């Protein structure tokens, strides 16, 4: 039985068949679950994908493999950027493994000399990747730059809300969640969530549940610090017979408010 055929959507590392884990760590297949993303051998995958890396780079990468998953991804991305230069980004971006493409995200996040528009242009294909994991690495990798240039980031990402791709529309919201997941909070948006309205307003009736969930989670983040503002905004959106998408967003946005 092939590794693909033996997969059963395992949600725990212990449940991942050995042949699947081997194939993931060899770059032969993509991960199907978060558990698979976390369980694969990054060091082995790095050696398989880039067999010519110098021993020093491999030693640094091996040390990074002992870190948490985000620091691990970033650490290997840094190793590859230093060892391969900017050309390595394209090599990673075109690889069949979602994890290798995730390394490309962090390479773009660390790439020197890019202003914010150029960095978002570079990350855009990965933000629109077909694999769920790559899309998460994409926003995590550039979020520190977005947070440092918040006004510019909001202006640029507001344009993404008109994209025909639900993945890019979702990126616009997810990348600037006030709290987010596996990332540092954005204090300015926790204090003044209304600054995010240029992104939130165009998405308040988005037809995609993928986008709706992100907008709702953005507002749920904000509700932990500014509940009255979130209640008022949802009240405004719910007036005058709102569409089902808006009702769903508001219901989920208000779930933590007592």
Is 235 contained in some domain? yes
Residue 14 predicted with pLDDT over 90: no
Rounded to whole angstroms, the Cα distance separating 235 from 124 reads 33
**35 token code pair:** 């558990």
Rounded to whole angstroms, the Cα distance separating 243 from 91 reads 44
pLDDT the model gives residue 181: 87
Asked if 101 and 75 count as a contact pair (C-beta separation under 8 A), the reply is no
Asked if 227 and 241 count as a contact pair (C-beta separation under 8 A), the reply is no
Neighbours of 106 (CB within 10 A): 26
Q: What percent of the chain has pLDDT over 90?
A: 90
> How confident is the model over 166-210, as pLDDT tens digits?
999 999 999 999 998 899 999 999 999 999 999 999 999 999 999
Is 112 contained in some domain? no
Q: What is the mean pLDDT of residues 226-246?
A: 95
pLDDT the model gives residue 72: 96
**167 token code pair:** 């993945």
Is 251 contained in some domain? yes
Q: What domain range includes position 183? A: 149-258
> How confident is the model over 63-106, as pLDDT tens digits?
999 999 999 999 999 999 999 999 999 999 999 999 999 999 99
DSSP 207-218: S-HHHHHHHHHH
3-class secondary structure, 31: coil
Torsions phi, psi for 90 (to 5 deg): -65, -40
Q: What is the b/e burial string over 6-24, where b = at least 16 CB atoms within 10 angstroms of the residue's CB?
A: ebeebeeeeebeebbbebb
Is 237 contained in some domain? yes
Is 12 contained in some domain? no
**232 token code pair:** 């008022």
Is 162 contained in some domain? yes
**200 token code pair:** 């939130």
Q: What is the mean pLDDT of residues 12-28?
A: 89
Could you give the number of structural domains in the chain? 1
Is 128 contained in some domain? no
Is 250 contained in some domain? yes
From its phi and psi, is residue 123 left (phi > 0), alpha (psi between -120 and 50) or beta?
alpha
3-state secondary structure 65-121: CCCCHHHHHHHHHHHHHHHHCCHHHHHHHCCCCHHHHHHHHHHHHHCCCCCHHHHHH
Domain holding 200: CATH number?
1.25.40.290
- Residue 6: pLDDT band (50, 70, 90) is very low
């Amino acid at each position: 039985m092939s590794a693909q055929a033996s997969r059963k959507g395992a949600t725990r590392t212990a449940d991942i068949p050995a042949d699947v884990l081997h194939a993931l760590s060899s770059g032969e297949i993509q991960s199907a679950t978060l558990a698979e993303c976390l369980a694969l051998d990054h060091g082995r995958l790095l050696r398989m994908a880039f067999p010519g890396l110098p021993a020093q780079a491999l030693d640094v990468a091996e040390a990074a493999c002992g870190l948490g998953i985000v620091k691990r991804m970033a650490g290997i991305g840094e190793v590859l950027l230093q060892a391969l230069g900017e050309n390595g980004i394209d090599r990673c971006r075109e690889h069949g493994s979602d994890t290798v493409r995730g390394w490309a995200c962090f390479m773009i996040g660390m790439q020197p000399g890019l202003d914010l528009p150029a960095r978002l242009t570079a990350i855009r294909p990965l933000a629109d990747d077909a694999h769920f994991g790559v899309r998460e690495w994409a926003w995590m990798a550039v979020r520190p730059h977005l947070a440092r240039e918040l006004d510019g980031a909001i202006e640029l990402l507001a344009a993404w809300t008109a994209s025909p791709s639900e993945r890019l529309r979702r990126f616009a919201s997810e990348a600037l969640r006030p709290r987010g997941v596996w990332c540092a909070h954005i204090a300015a948006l926790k204090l003044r969530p209304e600054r995010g309205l240029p992104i939130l307003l165009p998405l308040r009736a988005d037809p995609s549940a993928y986008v709706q969930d992100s907008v709702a989670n953005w507002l749920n983040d904000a509700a932990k610090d500014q509940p009255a503002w979130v209640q008022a905004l949802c009240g405004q959106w719910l007036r005058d017979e709102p569409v089902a998408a808006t009702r769903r967003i508001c219901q989920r946005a208000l779930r933590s408010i007592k």
